[in-house]
């Protein structure tokens, strides 16, 4: 496993475990015992960074992680990076709330669910247009001083929002969506982060499984799965184009003795400024290929070939706006 220094000195694995699917929300449910085994498998492999959010499974993801970190040794191995700023009600509706009151409540709830007295990296999940950035930034800064968190991060922020945040609080990390198919952050976010020594935790490295090579045009997803209901890449002609690209990427990976998943995540890690790529898994077997990402790099010709594959198959790349939660409490 490869490791890197986080911007405040914390040592983190360059592959992190993404736990959105572990919570089951928007992923058609989950199996708790499989999820616990996946977390423990990740730690055994040397994956130390575990990325969570309070809203994943409406708290379930954090509860599962706590069960998986059932010994002091396992907790000491783990770098827990959870998030605040997206809340929910009893009906399962979610919305953004970055107010100081909400963040204070959320950090205490997360600490209870995680059964720990501190979070290694605390992140604001989404910017909240209703709340001036100064309010959550100053709240996070206070939590840092109080010792409830060790580092401050933001997720889904643009450069202007990060600049404003930095007027009021330290900023140790940013978490943008980033993979071979979703590359908006290349334009401004990644260069800004590299320039200002802000660690980058890239989420969606496998594009919700699309870059595993396991799907075809007839693949079906359970009701409530984000790929069935929301992600336009998995719909009709769009899917055909993306699968064509995956097929060519898979052939390239096989020439190197790698899987397409390994190729895709290695590509993310080889981009300037990227600290860690998140690998989502909810069963231990879904992590086996992660071991083959470390210890090699893509060269210039590889990068150019990948660009030709993407450009030749995907004339109009689709972004990630569909993932943004509403800023207001949903009606009804």
Residues designated catalytic = 56
Rounded alpha-carbon distances, angstroms, from residue 73 to 1, 47, 68: 19, 14, 11
Pairwise CA distance, residues 73 & 92, whole Å: 35
Strands 274-280 and 15-18: parallel
What is the distance between the alpha carbons of residues 86 and 109, in angstroms, rounded to a whole number?
Answer: 13
Specify the DSSP class assigned to residue 297.
-
- CA distance linking residue 313 with residue 243, whole number of Å: 9
**The two structure tokens encoding residue 249:** 């990427």
Query: 44 and 73 in contact (C-beta within 8 Å)?
Result: no
What does the alpha-carbon distance between residue 246 and residue 309 come to, in Å, rounded to a whole number? 9
For residue 207, report the phi and psi dihedrals to the nearest 5 degrees: 50, 55
d(CA 50, CA 278): 9
Q: Which tokens is 16 given?
A: 């992190």
Paired tokens of 117: 């007295």
């Amino acid at each position: 496993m490869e490791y890197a220094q986080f911007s405040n000195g914390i040592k983190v694995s360059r592959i992190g475990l993404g736990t959105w699917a572990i919570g089951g929300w928007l992923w058609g449910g989950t199996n708790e015992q499989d999820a616990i085994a996946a977390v423990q498998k990740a730690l055994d492999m040397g994956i130390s960074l575990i990325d969570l959010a309070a809203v994943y499974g409406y708290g379930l993801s954090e509860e599962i992680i706590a069960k998986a970190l059932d010994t002091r040794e396992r907790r000491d191995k783990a770098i827990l990076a959870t998030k605040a700023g997206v809340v929910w009600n009893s009906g399962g509706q979610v919305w953004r709330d970055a107010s100081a009151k909400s963040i204070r409540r959320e950090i205490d709830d997360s600490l209870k669910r995680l059964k720990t007295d501190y979070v290694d990296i605390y992140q604001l999940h989404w910017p909240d247009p209703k709340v001036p950035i100064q309010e959550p930034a100053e709240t996070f800064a206070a939590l840092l001083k109080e010792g409830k968190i060790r580092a401050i991060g933001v997720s889904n922020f643009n450069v202007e929002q990060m600049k404003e945040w930095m007027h009021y609080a330290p900023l140790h990390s940013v978490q943008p969506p980033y993979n071979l198919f979703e590359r908006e952050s290349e334009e401004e976010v990644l260069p800004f982060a590299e320039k200002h020594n802000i660690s980058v935790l890239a989420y969606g490295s496998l594009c919700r499984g699309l870059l595993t090579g396991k799907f075809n045009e007839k693949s079906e997803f359970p009701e409530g799965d984000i790929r069935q209901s929301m992600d336009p890449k998995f719909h009709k002609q769009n899917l055909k184009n993306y699968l064509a690209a995956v097929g060519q990427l898979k052939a390239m990976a096989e020439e190197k003795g790698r899987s397409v998943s390994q190729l895709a995540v290695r590509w993310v890690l080889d981009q300037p400024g990227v600290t860690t790529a998140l690998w989502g898994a909810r069963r231990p077997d879904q992590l086996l290929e992660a071991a083959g990402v470390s210890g090699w790099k893509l060269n210039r010709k590889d990068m150019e070939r990948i660009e030709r594959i993407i450009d030749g198959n995907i004339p109009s790349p689709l972004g990630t706006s569909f993932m943004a939660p509403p800023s207001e409490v949903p009606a009804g």
